[in-house]
Structure formats: structure tokens, C-alpha cells
Amino acid sequence: MTSIPREPKPEDLPELNFDGVPFGERPFTPGPERDDVCMDDYFPNTATTGTQIIYMEEEIEGEVPIAVINYNGTQVPYIASFISGSFNLLGPAIRKEDDKWLLYITQRQDYETPGMQRYMFNVRVDGELLIAGLSLQIVNIDDNDPIIQAFDACRVPVSMLQIYNIDTI
């Protein structure tokens, strides 16, 4: 895998504090910090729907925690429906660890594989009004050489050959 050059994380970023913020206002909070996953904005659409955007690089080996489900009640969060992408290609899983519900991606993603560029699905908790949408965007990394295909023979106009003093064949 090719390393992606990036600027270091700014030291003056404010700490995010979601203590006391209920599931209905902010259903997902950042998972364990890692360079290959980035939680973007949460967009509340209505009182009962909203969408969280998360970016994850392709080609990550192993299971990847992408978010914490911000729920502390007695019910078990679950993946309700897929709007875009395939459940089997992504392999999302929700697990409780250290009194937190973590959302994992269990399948390695390959941006060049059709159907593995973006996923949209909903997470629900029985008894909660909010249907928490999640948009996962897979980020292409520089791991494959570009593919160039010529569908027809290349033709250079005679005028161009004359400009560069190239003999015609």
C-alpha cells in the first residue's frame, strides 16, 4: 500500500464533548482515533431523521471501528436497512465494548471494485424516534497503477508531424 502524504493533525483543535447529548440529537460520535477514518458533519434532516457522513480509506486490513453509537439505554442498536451499497460487501457490525456501542466495518474495501465506493444505511434503536442515517464514503488511495485503454488506433494529423519535423510513415 502506498502511504498518503498528509499534514499532521493541528494541535489546537478543540476537544469534542458529547456528554449529555442524546441519541436523538447526535446519534454517532467519533470512534477510536485513527488516520484512515474521518467523521464529517451530522445533518439533522427532520426531527426523526438525520445523516452522519464518514470517510474511510480503502484497503484497510482487519475490522475497523468507524463510530460510536451515542446510546446508553437498555435496547440494542441495530442496522435497519441499506439504502445504497451491499450489506455483504461492507459487513457492518455493532458491538458493545466498555459500555459503548461501536459500529465496525468487517470487510476490506477496494475502491476499484464496483459497488464499494459508497454506502448508505440506517441505524435504529427500538424506543427512539430517530432513524440515524449513515453515509460511508470510501476514499481511493494510490495503490493501483492507472489503466489506460486505446479503443482505436492513434492518428496524428500531418500538420502536427510537420510542426515537429517528424517524417511521415
User: CB-based contacts of 106: which residues, under 8 Å, 6+ apart?
Assistant: 63, 90, 91, 92, 93
How confident is the model at residue 82, as a pLDDT?
Answer: 97
**155 φ, ψ (degrees, to nearest 5):** -125, 130
How confident is the model at residue 148, as a pLDDT?
Answer: 72
How confident is the model at residue 2, as a pLDDT?
Answer: 47
C-alpha span between 129 and 111 (Å, rounded): 34
Sorted by where each begins, the domain ranges of the chain are 30-141
Confidence band for 146, pLDDT divided at 50, 70 and 90:
low
How confident is the model at residue 36, as a pLDDT?
Answer: 92
Question: pLDDT of 151-166, one tens digit each?
Answer: 777 776 766 666 666 6
Question: pLDDT of 109-122, one tens digit each?
Answer: 998 888 999 999 99
Question: pLDDT of 48-86, one tens digit each?
Answer: 999 999 999 999 999 999 999 999 999 999 999 999 999
How confident is the model at residue 1, as a pLDDT?
Answer: 42
How confident is the model at residue 16, as a pLDDT?
Answer: 82
Q: What is the chain's Cα-based Rg?
A: 23
Q: Mean pLDDT for the chain?
A: 88
How confident is the model at residue 63, as a pLDDT?
Answer: 97
Bridge partner residues of 51 (DSSP):
43, 133
How confident is the model at residue 164, as a pLDDT?
Answer: 66
Report, at the CATH architecture level, how domain 30-141 is classified. Answer: Sandwich (2.60)
**162 φ, ψ (degrees, to nearest 5):** -70, -35
Mean of pLDDT values over 17-31: 93
C-alpha span between 114 and 82 (Å, rounded): 17
Secondary structure class of 159 (helix, strand, coil):
helix
Task: Quote the Cα angle for 83-54-110, to 5°.
Answer: 75
List the 28-30 sheet strands across, edge first.
28-30, 64-69, 100-105, 92-97
C-alpha span between 89 and 92 (Å, rounded): 9
